[in-house]
Structure formats: structure tokens, C-alpha cells
Amino acid sequence: MQAKDTLIIYEDIFSGRQYKLKNKYTNVRSALYSDEQFDIFASNALGVSESLGRYKKINALLPNIKINSTPRVRQDIKNIYFLMTYVFQQGLVPAFRYNYSIGINSYASKNFY
């Protein structure tokens, strides 16, 4: 069984903390949040938008066949850490929940400025 990854979502002002965590622990991925719409960023970070893109390509190749598609919940990510200010956490945490991260532990701190 493959070890599950931890995903760190961070703002640029927390890049030093992200760098330290990524170098200290194995199986860590990270994504820099850069002022995108919350739901679009979450969808991209979790690969949902890629999945929907593949569905559209397959659907275009088979126009006479009805194909149903629902992106899966990520099985390779165990934890998501949000290293960012509270304002962005308020929008991103629900956006990640909406984009199929149910069952993935999410950690955010209200102590960040």
C-alpha cells in the first residue's frame, strides 16, 4: 500500500514555513495560492478540473453514447494544511470540501493574522 500524501496550501508570505515542512517530512506536496477564485483553485489543486477535462474529451469522441462522470474523492491525500491568513482560509476550506475532499483531514489555524 502506498503512503498517503499531505497537501500544503499556502500563501506566499508563508513560503518559508512551507519550505521547512516540505524538507522535514516525506510525502508532502504543496500548492501556492495566488489570488484565484477559491473554487477554481481547489478544483485545480485536487485534480477535479483535469478529470472534468478528460470527461469532455471522451464525450466529444463518442457523441452518440451517453456517458456519466463524477470525479472521485482523492484517495492519495490524507491531510491538507492551510498556511494562510484567516481571510483566505474562510473561503478555501469550504471550497476544498465542495471539491471532493470529503474524508481528507483539513487543518487550519485561526492564529494566523
Residue 31 dihedral angles phi and psi, to the nearest 5°: -140, 125
Total structural domains in the chain? 1
Residue 113 falls within a domain, yes or no? no
Q: Which domain holds residue 97?
A: 5-108
Please list the rounded mean pLDDT of every run of 10 residues in the chain (113 residues).
Answer: 80 93 91 90 83 76 79 78 91 83 79 53
pLDDT for the residue numbered 110: 66
Residue 51 falls within a domain, yes or no? yes
pLDDT for the residue numbered 1: 45
Residue 20 falls within a domain, yes or no? yes
Domain of residue 59, CATH code = 3.40.1360
* pTM exceeds 0.75: yes
Residue 49 falls within a domain, yes or no? yes
Q: What is the 3-state secondary structure (H, E, C) of 12-70?
A: HHHHHHHHHHHHHCCCEEEEECCCCCHHHHHHHHHCHHHHHHHHHHHHHHCCCCCCCCC
What's the maximum distance between 2 C-alpha atoms anywhere in the chain? 54
pLDDT for the residue numbered 3: 61
- The secondary structure of residue 111, as a DSSP letter, is T
Cβ proximity of 6 and 27 under 8 Å: yes
pLDDT for the residue numbered 71: 63
- Selection from 81, 79, 78 nearest residue 108 by Cα: 81
CA pair distance 7, 81, nearest whole angstrom: 6
